[in-house]
Amino acid sequence: MWILGIDTSCDDTGVGLVRDGTVVVNLVASQTLLHQRYGGVVPELASREHTQVIDGLVQQALEEGGIEAPALDLIAATRGPGLIGALLVGYTYGKGLAFALGKPFVAVHHLEGHIYAALAEQPEVTPPFLALIASGGHTHLFEVRSWGNYQLLGATLDDAAGEAFDKSARLLGLGYPGGPQIEQLARQGDARNVPLGVPLQGQEGFAFSFSGLKTAVARAIEKGYAPADIAARFQQVAVEHISQVVTRAAQRTGLTTVLVTGGVAQNAALQAHLRASGLRLLFPPRGLATDNGAMIALAAWRTQAQHPQNQLELPAAAYLPLNRTA
């Protein structure tokens, strides 16, 4: 079974091909350079760029996959959440293609895509498990009880984890996206030199908070601490905070398998810290942690490939809680 997956929820055009649950092609046209000079994503520019590249990228994916469009069995695209103008480009393209080919069209929730990306090379793992999505736009912790059954345990009260990396990087005069830059600078610094507290220390629940941390970074810069030391401490504290919430959720639910996905999952300090917890951790393979189309095809494969319903009538949605997905 061949599934084409499309994601245009934010600033990257993602097109992927999955055959019987295995990723065959994963193409991402990055818009990083386009938005870099603005220090963040400009929605109008993102939509325009998606429109320019989507068709060529789909053709390239089919070529690389060695199949013709009529051989596709199913077409899946991200319905939401995301920037509505950006979402509409890939979603409408996917619907049009499905309609023209007479194939089922499946609407996928962006966060479901992130979750199943972590299982791309571990098809034997089955629910229940915990899933942490830490990206530029989301920080959500779910309990996945069965395929397609998600219980939200906690989310960020303010900024997303990746957003905190991006904003702190900007304050430190580093480029965008900030996560990898902070990670690199932190290697040269000593976290012990900067007094920065772990957010929500002593809480009972599963909430995250990163905006205070960003403010604390601004203060530390004003006070003249060395940028590398600030980066090191910021990263340490962010990682500690995420780990505390995840390990508490594992203890409370009794679940010992944790999927960690989204751009921040690539952070080596986070991976090392979580690995020390003794939990069974699953991270997405290279290229599947950040936004991409293959993860959308994987989610469609896991949740809807058995009995695909044509979802051409469902509208795209900028705001879309995961438990209300079709």
Name the site residues for ligand KG4 (rule: CB under 6 A). 10, 135-137, 162-163, 165-166, 177-180, 183, 262-264, 266-267, 290-291
Q: How far is the CB of 30 from ligand KG4 (least distance, A)?
A: 10
Tokens of 111: 């966060």
CB contact burial 174-188 (16+ within 10 A = b; e otherwise): bebbbbebbbebbee
Which does residue 90 touch among Zn ion, ligand KG4, none (CB within 5 to 8 A, set by kind)? none
Binds 263: which of ligand KG4, Zn ion, none (CB < 5-8 Å by kind): ligand KG4
How far apart are the C-alpha atoms of 323 and 85, rounded to whole Å? 23
Query: Could you tell me the smallest distance in angstroms from the CB atom of residue 135 to Zn ion?
Result: 4
Report the residue number, 74 or 132, with the smaller CB distance to ligand KG4: 132
- How long, in residues, is the chain? 326
CB nearer to ligand KG4: pick between 65 and 262: 262
Nearest distance from residue 12's CB to ligand KG4, in Å? 7
Q: How far is the CB of 235 from ligand KG4 (least distance, A)?
A: 8
Region for 262 from its dihedrals, namely left if φ exceeds 0, alpha if ψ lies in -120 to 50, beta otherwise: left
Min dist CB 161 to Zn ion, Å, is 12
If the CB atoms of residues 229 and 291 are measured against Zn ion, the closer one turns out to be: 291
Task: Let me know: does 205 contact 172? Beta carbons within 8 Å.
Answer: no
Q: Does 11 bind Zn ion (CB under 5 A)?
A: no
Nearest distance from C-beta of residue 45 to ligand KG4, angstroms:
16
Side-chain-facing half-sphere of 232: CA atoms under 13 Å: 15
Identify what 14 binds: ligand KG4, Zn ion, none; CB under 5 to 8 Å per kind.
none
Q: Is 135 in the site for Zn ion (CB under 5 A)?
A: yes
Query: Which range touches Zn ion (CB under 5 A), out of 130-138, 158-166, 202-210, 272-280?
Result: 130-138
What distance in Å separates the CA atoms of residue 233 and residue 217, rounded to the nearest whole number? 9
| Distances from the Cα of 21 to the Cα of 25, 186, 242, angstroms | 12, 37, 30
Q: Give me the helices (H) in 15-109, please.
A: 32-36, 43-65, 84-101
Should residue 112 be labelled a site residue for Zn ion when binding is judged by CB under 5 A? no
Taking CB under 5 A as the rule, does residue 266 contact Zn ion?
no
Of 16 and 162, nearer to ligand KG4 (C-beta) is: 162
Note the maximum CA span of the chain. 63
Residue 148 Cβ, how far from ligand KG4 at the closest point, in Å? 21
Say whether residue 26 binds Zn ion (CB under 5 A).
no
Residues touching Zn ion, count (CB under 5 A): 2
Is 183 a binder of Zn ion (CB under 5 A)?
no
Least distance (Å) between residue 261 CB and ligand KG4: 8
Nearer to Zn ion, 143 or 291 (CB): 291
The entry of ligand KG4, Zn ion, none that residue 16 binds, CB within 5 to 8 Å by partner kind? none
Long-range contacts made by residues 256-259, C-beta under 8 angstroms, separation at least 24? 256/280, 257/125, 257/128, 257/129, 257/130, 257/282, 258/129, 258/130, 258/131, 258/132, 258/282, 259/115, 259/118, 259/119, 259/129, 259/130, 259/131, 259/132, 259/144
Alpha helices for 102-226 (secondary structure H): 110-117, 161-171, 178-186, 211-222
Nearest to Zn ion of 163, 291 (CB atom): 291
State the Cα angle at 215 between 200 and 209, rounded to 5°.
30
User: Which residue among 291, 301, 308, 322 contacts Zn ion (CB under 5 A)?
Assistant: 291
* CA 24 remoteness from chain centre: 20
- What is the contact surface with Zn ion in residues (CB under 5 A)? 135, 291
